[in-house]
Amino acid sequence: MAGSNFKKDMNQNDVIDSAKGFFTSFGILFLVFLIALVGSIFFPPQHGEQAGGGATAPAKVDAESVFKTTCAGCHGQNLEGITGPNLTKVGSILDAAAIENIIKNGKGGMPPGMLKKNDEIKAVAEWLAAKK
Ligand code: HEC
């Protein structure tokens, strides 16, 4: 009968409609997921970039600990002087450039080339030049 056929068609359409609805919303979810995935590939999380930036910036040198491991054997842990002279007021007689020069070239009984890295030499020289 036409009536029952019509009802059957309705049911089929309902099934197709809900299937369409399901796949459409699933498709949107899938699209969002794809965009997020592609986005994370082309725009990686910012914290990774910051870590990279920190690595390319010169590492902060701890002048005091460099001095204690390299220089304190002769100048003392507190700059009080042992075989080398007291450096507690070295900044009032030598500026950073002069101290840098002594670190690089040595002086009298002080051996040259104790520090090899330029940023360490600079940091220690500036740290000592501030001792007045
Ligand atoms: C082997 C021992 C020794 C070590 C290690 C040493 N020094 Fe010296 N240092 C000396 C001696 C000795 C003198 C004095 C040299 C002179 O006037 O003839 C001196 C002098 C200096 C002076 C000049 C002080 C002044 O009054 O003229 C500075 C600055 C200095 N040292 C810094 C350093 C720093 C920084 C380090 C570490 C990188 C260092 N020294 C490591 C033995 C040492």
pLDDT in tens, 38-52: 887 777 666 544 444
Q: How far apart are CA 130 and CA 132, in angstroms?
A: 6
Ligand 1 proximity of 114 Cβ (cutoff 6 Å):
yes
Closest CA to 75 of 88, 90, 60, 86: 86
- Ligand 1 atom nearest residue 93's Cα: 26
Ligand 1 mean position to 21 CA, how many Å? 82
- Residue range 80-111, pLDDT digits in tens: 999 999 999 999 999 999 999 999 999 999 99
Q: How far apart are CA 126 and CA 103, in angstroms?
A: 12
Closest CA to 103 of 68, 67, 130: 67
Ligand 1 mean position to 43 CA, how many Å? 52
Ligand 1, atom 39, residue with closest C-alpha = 71
